[in-house]
Every structure is written in C-alpha cells, then in structure tokens.
Amino acid sequence: MGKPAIFLALLLLAVSGARAQPDLPALLAKFAGSIVDLPREPSTLRGRIYVPAHSSLLVRDGNTRLDLSVTLSVQNTSETGTLVIERIDYFNVDGQVIDRYLPRAIALKPYGAIQIVVPQQDIRGGLGANFVIDWSSPEAIDEPYLEAIMIGGPGTQGHSFVSVGRKVSRP
C-alpha cells in the first residue's frame, strides 16, 4: 500500500472518529470512553426511571435547610448490549424542568457509565428535586442501574446517602 493510500485510510479513520460524538455535552467529556455510536437498529425495549435527588433537606427544627451536592450515576448493567439514554431531565420541587442534560440521545457500551453532578451551591431543585431518565435498547438487556449520591454538610460535619432509581411508566 502506497503512502497516499495510507494517508487516505488514516484520514477516513480520523473523520469517522470525529463524527461519532460531534455534540457530546462538555459535562460528559470525561466519560467519552463509555459512550459509543448510537445503534443503527430501532429500539424495541424502552423504559423510564425516576430518581429522587435530595439537593436540599430540612434539618433540626424544620426551619434550617441543608444543601447537598448530587451526583447522578447512570450505569449500563448489560455485559453485551448497548444502552441508549434518550433523556436526562432535572426537576425542581414544583415539578418544573430546570435542566435538560442531553441535547441528543447517547449510547453507553456494555458496563459503561456516566455521571451528572449538581453542585452543592445549585439550590434550584429545592426540597424535592428529582431526575427522570428515558432509556431504550434495540435488544433485550437488563434495566440500567441509576442512583443519586448526595454529599454535603456544614463545617466539619458530613452527610452522605444514596437514592436508588425506580422504574415508572413511560408514555
């Protein structure tokens, strides 16, 4: 194979790699190794998961608010199948969407994972924040595992706990 053919092959490889994730949100860049091209086959399996995200809690006398950081962890539990994440929306206590984290669907490779972080200073979620995640797959796979990890506390006190996602109906 001549030099022009090698150059052309490398150029095609680079271009196809650049096309794979053209608009990957910056907040997911550190998880690029878990994200793969969307499957060409249509999705036949669909689900929705609701995850409570306690970004703020009432403590002590019920008049003191404790603000926490929230990390949403989304994990593909399949050893062989691709998990398509179609939507990650963050809702406040009033049920209003305050963040839509995905401009387009993404796909996680087998056992791939991503995380979304809501900083402790972001109190827009209020006392009853939550995430709603829509997912799908073109093949039979186990449901993804989703949880929110809350961490924070005043001074030298620290609090941490986990909320596990729950399957809910998807219209």
Residue among 27, 42, 48 nearest 118 (CA): 27
Segment 41-88, tens digit of pLDDT:
999 999 999 999 999 988 888 888 899 999 999 999 999 999 999 999
Contact 53, 59 (CB under 8 A): no
pLDDT score, position 170: 84
* 151: amino acid identity, one letter: I
Q: Residue 115 sits in which domain range?
A: 24-168
Q: Who contacts 130 (Cβ-Cβ below 8 Å, separation ≥6)?
A: 50, 51, 52, 53, 90, 91
For 104-144, list the strands marked E by DSSP: 106-108, 113-118, 130-137
Which DSSP category does 154 fall into?
A: S
User: For residue 82, is it within any domain?
Assistant: yes
User: For residue 16, is it within any domain?
Assistant: no
CATH number at residue 72: 2.60.40
User: For residue 12, is it within any domain?
Assistant: no
Domain count, the chain: 1
User: For residue 3, is it within any domain?
Assistant: no
Contact 70, 129 (CB under 8 A): yes
Burial class (CB in 10 A: 0-12, 13-18, 19+), 15: exposed
Contact 44, 127 (CB under 8 A): no
User: For residue 126, is it within any domain?
Assistant: yes
Segment 3-26, tens digit of pLDDT:
544 444 444 444 444 334 556 778
